[in-house]
Amino acid sequence: MIDAVVHGDPSTADRTIAGPGTREAEWHGWSGWSELISIGLDDLVPEGTRLVVVAPHPDDEVIAAGGLLRLAAAAGRSTLIIGVSDGGGSHPGSDEWPPAQLIEQRRAERRAALQELGVRTDLVCELDLPDGGIGSARERLVGYLDDLIHDRDVVISPWRFDGHPDHEATTSAVQTVIAAKRPPRHAVHLQAPIWGWHWASPSGGQLPTTDGAVLHLDSTAHRRKITAMSCFTSQLSADASTGAPAILPDFVLQRLSRNREVFLR
């Protein structure tokens, strides 16, 4: 499907998530779009395989692969969402969103979003690892994933160089589990940039286009994904109690609201 190619690894300093990042208007003219393989549901998740989306936080499954999840659900593909963290760390020090309330809110947001995509909410496995501490719980996560990921699964997680420590730790754990499985029936692992679109640039060559594919969403899948993303209300508004801006302000949403999804090896 996608041939693996070795690329130079971006440094940690390069992968800084700060300020507005690279604007979506800059990505419109990216030459890499024409270098990505155009691929469909049957190529990504063939009949007889299961789609497994590993989400570090509640909302990452929709941001990374909401369109794919919609298409898979409509086609009757088997699906599992693995929610790694409880999402309780997104608003530190907040009186508006104390952790216990925030955790319940984000669970409810995920349920509403998946219902919008047509994905059964009983297909979610919540591991409840600490938000912001997935790296320190990596070995626990590897153990959980080893039990949950099966041969012939198609596993989606964030890009291994996404810039967010929880995203990178999650994908590192997935890579460890996938590597331990043996051909010819081993799982397939694909990685979706999320915050990578923020820190990378169209001229920087950081995204491995020769190692990636693009899924173009039909109008229904695209509309359902946008509506599903709007369910994550705790992430879309500023916190009046701390003065912190929204986790997902408009300039971030513009990058995440495209009618296409990118998956890398």
Determine the pLDDT at residue 1: 28
Q: Count of CB atoms within 10 A of residue 61's CB?
A: 28
- What angle in degrees, to the nearest 10, is found between the helix axes of 99-117 and 219-229? 170
| pLDDT over threshold 90, residue 4 | no
Give residue-wise pLDDT tens across range 119-168: 999 999 999 999 999 999 999 999 999 999 999 999 999 999 999 999 99
Determine the pLDDT at residue 2: 29
| pLDDT over threshold 80, residue 60 | yes
How far apart CA 157 and CA 191 sit, in angstroms, is: 5
Mean pLDDT of all residues in 89-96: 96
Give residue-wise pLDDT tens across range 203-235: 999 999 888 999 999 999 999 999 999 999 999
Q: pTM of this prediction?
A: 0.93
The set of residues, in sequence order, having a beta carbon less than 8 Å from that of 21 and lying 6+ positions away, is 197, 198, 199, 251, 252, 255
Tokens describing residue 55: 């989400």
How far apart CA 134 and CA 154 sit, in angstroms, is: 22
What Rg, from alpha-carbon coordinates, does the chain have? 17
Strands 153-158 and 50-55: parallel
Domain map of the chain by residue range? 35-264
Tokens describing residue 118: 């047509």
What is the third-level CATH fold of 35-264?
Rossmann fold (3.40.50)
Determine the pLDDT at residue 210: 86
